[in-house]
Amino acid sequence: MTENKLILSKPSKQTFCTIQLTGSKSESNRALILNALSSGKVEVRNLSSADDTVTLDGILRNLATGKTSETSETPVVNIGPAGTAMRFLTAYFAVTGQEVIITGTERMKQRPIGILVDALRTLGAEIEYVEKEGYPPLKFQSNFQQATKQVDIKGNISSQFITALLLVAASLPQGLDLNIVGDLTSRPYVEMTLAMLEEAGVSHKWDGNTISIPPQPFKDSAITIEPDWSAASYWYAIAALSDESSITLPFLKENSLQGDSRISSIMESFGIVTKFTETGLELTKNCNELQGRFFDLKDCPDLAQTVIVVSAALGHNATFTGLETLKIKETDRVAALQNELAKIGIVLREDNELYHLDCSNLHFPDKITIRTYEDHRMAMAFAPLALKINQLEIEEPEVVGKSYPSFWEDLKKAGFEI
């Protein structure tokens, strides 16, 4: 990654703008797998422009035409830093009988995938670890024979493992009975997956802790991707840190499949009012009075950095839980938050599964530099601090391409100077 830096400022502390967000990365990546499994019967519209989606789309297109890297006897697929692609393609390769090696960046090789591999092996897949046990790269054999339809998987790990299994379930000869052990983290993402499967003609039954999907064909259908609520969260943060704000985000739905739509209710605690219209939503700052002091983000961990930074910048001594999966993301997001918040005097203290903000020493230097740790959400969660700091320097600003490529250009539309 290049050593680019970006200096951000916001002379006016008022924000009035209309921003058209890219399609949801989460929905897009699920839809691409459904399109591939259905041999094109499931059409995808309004695909995200995020790097991860572009990567996954390109890989699936290349596979369909037989174009892969031939650097070894076995074709090699390199997904780079795309975590969703790694999880979804692991299940896809395992059950579609493709002999291939999947790999990624050095950070990707540090992100555990053993739980998903174990589940797929239980089903009958032959998967080998090329380097370190429990981690990518992975090598798949072509002779998949389903051994059982019963699989147990822990509910408190990445919901992408569960989603990966559900996406391929209808294509299995025996289908799948997936038993979720313990509490389910990020439940809305699982519900999103099941709702999209329904759109593609795949039915399911969810009884207690078991999700059952029988073998069945996909129907001719079209899935239209909603704009990305994760991207919307940064505009909520900008509204909250502005003195006055009115921001319009077209085409977002009140009854969204995306778990991150919870940002609208979370940000009520920071005085932000969400109004849904026929064309999308409008968010305005109603008051400066802070309310909620406890936030459970178990169902929406991708909002954690945004909400924690807003709380810190407003001097709001809040407590957070549901952050368990943050340590195995693009970086250790808890450690990254602790490091960067310390630059404005904030302490994020870990107490078992609770995280407490201590804002007693909050201060805003004239200029600070934010490290991004090759994590797109670090860059975008901290960018709104330009409303409080005269010169906010962001390292590796290109990381936003992973989920929101037009982020910096959209900030210019809102009056930020770069």
| 302 flagged as catalytic | yes
Q: Burial-class residue 288 by CB neighbours within 10 Å (0-12, 13-18, 19+).
A: exposed
- Which one is catalytic: 51, 177, 299, 302? 302
| Block residue for tokens 């080998």 | 128
Enzyme catalytic residues: 302
